[in-house]
Chains A and B, each alone.
Chain A
């Protein structure tokens, strides 16, 4: 089955700096790669996603890049703010296949943004 590795496990930055979180996946059939943000004691929420037919996607201060050949994708957060502090999870899935959209998550990255 799919295996997703995520690094780093913790990331500490100063407000205004950029943060980058990287993930690799094992199943070349995976074609959907979402990122979820989980604040302390809350549910995971989707912040951005990318499909395998796209190399990069941006939404204001966040962007995701995908390298299908290398089977890795990254989350980039620019101009970080204290409210960006949370746990971030990457995930991989196969849309349209027999796995019916099951997400396999990475282990998570605890991002701390210091004011």
Chain B
């Protein structure tokens, strides 16, 4: 158990819908990262928050948004869903958002299926 909690584990929805994925980082970790894992795309970085503020942005679609709340949990919102958004979405947390030791701790992921 990494200490990072993601909900829901599985989600099936239809095209055009909106979903929210939730992540609770390890106790004490200030940084949260979201990654998308599709079959042919590896682990693609979406966005990072550090202590409530956005710190880095990857190839995140405009239909996607995220935030980190004062209690440090984070939510990833996916809207106007398309078939191609079907993927495993991982949340990860780290101690200091870039300071040593650098290890990211991943949650078990949320598997999104868009039909």
Q: How far is the CA of A64 from the CA of B51 in the complex (A)?
A: 32
- For the residues of A in contact with B, the DSSP-based class is loop
- The interface residues of chain B lying within 8 Å CB-to-CB of A97 are 98
Q: Which of B16-24, B40-48, B68-76, B79-87 contacts A (4 or more CB under 8 A)?
A: B40-48
The interface size of chain B toward A, counting residues with CB under 8 Å, comes to 28
Contacts A44-B43, A103-B45 known; A96 to B107 CB distance under 8 Å?
A: no
- Spell out B's residues near A (CB within 8 Å): 2, 31, 33, 35, 42-45, 48, 50, 55-56, 58, 90, 94, 96-104, 106-109
Q: Would you give 8 A-B contacts (Cβ < 8 Å), ordered by A?
A: A89-B42, A93-B98, A96-B99, A100-B50, A100-B56, A100-B97, A105-B42, A107-B42
Q: Is there contact, CB below 8 Å, between A100 and B102?
A: no
Q: How far is the CA of A94 from the CA of B101 in the complex (A)?
A: 11
Is the C-beta of A95 less than 8 angstroms from some C-beta in chain B?
A: yes
Q: Is there contact, CB below 8 Å, between A45 and B102?
A: no
Q: Is there contact, CB below 8 Å, between B98 and A43?
A: no
- The interface residues of chain A lying within 8 Å CB-to-CB of B94 are 101
Q: How far is the CA of A44 from the CA of B43 in the complex (A)?
A: 10
- The interface residues of chain B lying within 8 Å CB-to-CB of A107 are 42
Query: Contacts A42-B108, A44-B43 given; 20 further ones with Cβ under 8 A?
Result: A43-B2, A43-B107, A43-B108, A44-B90, A89-B42, A93-B98, A95-B100, A97-B98, A99-B98, A101-B31, A101-B48, A101-B102, A102-B33, A102-B45, A102-B55, A102-B98, A104-B45, A105-B42, A107-B42, A108-B43
Shortest Cβ distance from A31 into B: residue: B102
Q: Which of B48, B103, B107, B108 contacts A34 (CB 8 A)?
A: B103
Q: How far is the CA of A97 from the CA of B50 in the complex (A)?
A: 13
